[in-house]
Amino acid sequence: MKKDLQKKLARYTAAAAGVVGATTATGQIVFTNLTPDFTSTGNIQYPLSVDNDTVIDFVIYSMDTLVGGTDQYNITGIAPYGTAGNEIGGSAPSGYNYALALNSGNMVDNTINWISSTNTMSFEVDGSFPFNENWNGVIDKYLALRFNAGGSQYYGWARMDVSGDDWTLKSYAYNDSAGVGLHTGDMGNGVTGIEDLDVSELVHFINKANNTVEVIINGNLNDGNIALTSISGQNISVKAITAKVETVDLNGLASGLYMLNVKFNEGSITKKIFVK
């Protein structure tokens, strides 16, 4: 069954097209931060131009579908698009292409295994992850990307969260010196890693249906805690942050407005929460 789905995904791999204008080789890291982050909603395709020209280099997509009329499949993938030679860093166990999920500081260059066809990132069946894709339920990992422009190859990365067919694209970058690699998280001008970004860009809040709030921490922030207070300033709860995803339980609270403060050594962010 999975083999049939792999064939269906192959249609996202585009045929080769003409080359684009040459990029000046200055050896600079060209960094793009998406504000706000781009988050998928249902079946969607996102055209990614790593060097921000008019030519699409890759397509990131999500897809949910019924197979055999019973099983619900939720998939996230990435496909090279347009110019011949666009490739994704990945592995191919048992003949299936899985995009690598790199950590911050990994090198992206010709030492990586490069794949010139569609790569699966996350594969969810009926709410579970039956296959060992690298991106199943991860936060702040990096795609390794290699693309052609003006007849030369360039190396880049894209930072994402992925779970099933839900994903968020946060930022991407490339080295504008042809054939020269870069480290994931390298933003140029001596800045490396997402810890150098504003705290408000690294903390996200998700309101859940069970009257809880998920606090998602993206990046290497230190000595964090979450404080819940009433609008009048009364302390309700304080908990230390020990994981990338923390849950704040609002059950049992009287209806009204509350303040949720997330604080680290690097800074803090406060969100207003209304309890019905």
How many Cβ atoms are within 10 Å of 190's Cβ, its own excluded?
Answer: 8
Amino acid at 48: L
Local confidence band at 188 (pLDDT 50, 70, 90 cut-offs) = confident
Q: What is the reported pTM?
A: 0.62
For the chain, the average pLDDT equals 81
Query: 36 vs 88, which has greater pLDDT?
Result: 88
Local confidence band at 52 (pLDDT 50, 70, 90 cut-offs) = confident
pLDDT at position 19: 28
* Residue 7 pLDDT exceeds 80: no
Local confidence band at 72 (pLDDT 50, 70, 90 cut-offs) = confident
Model confidence over 75-102: pLDDT tens digits?
Answer: 899 999 987 889 999 998 878 899 999 9
Collect all residues with Cβ–Cβ distance below 8 Å to 220 and sequence separation of at least 6. 104, 193, 194, 195
Local confidence band at 189 (pLDDT 50, 70, 90 cut-offs) = low
User: Which whole number is the average pLDDT over 160-175?
Assistant: 89
C-alpha 100: how far from its chain's center?
Answer: 12
Model confidence over 240-274: pLDDT tens digits?
Answer: 999 888 999 999 999 888 888 888 877 777 787 88
Model confidence over 119-153: pLDDT tens digits?
Answer: 999 888 776 766 767 898 888 899 999 999 989 99
Local confidence band at 173 (pLDDT 50, 70, 90 cut-offs) = very high
215 to 32, 39, 166, 200, 263: CA distances (angstroms): 25, 16, 17, 12, 12
| Range list for CATH 2.60.40.3080 in the chain | 199-275
Q: Is the CB of residue 167 less than 8 Å from the CB of residue 38?
A: no
When mean pLDDT is compared across 14-23, 73-82, 163-172, the lowest value belongs to 14-23
Percent over 70 (pLDDT), the chain: 82
Tell me: cis bond preceding 47? Omega within 30 of 0 counts: no
Percent over 90 (pLDDT), the chain: 34
pLDDT at position 17: 31
pLDDT at position 66: 67
Longest dimension (CA), the chain: 64
Query: In this structure, which topology does domain 199-275 adopt according to CATH?
Result: Immunoglobulin-like (2.60.40)
Q: What is the rounded CA–CA span in Å between residue 208 and residue 38?
A: 20
Local confidence band at 68 (pLDDT 50, 70, 90 cut-offs) = low
pLDDT at position 88: 97
pLDDT at position 24: 32
Query: 137 vs 3, which has greater pLDDT?
Result: 137
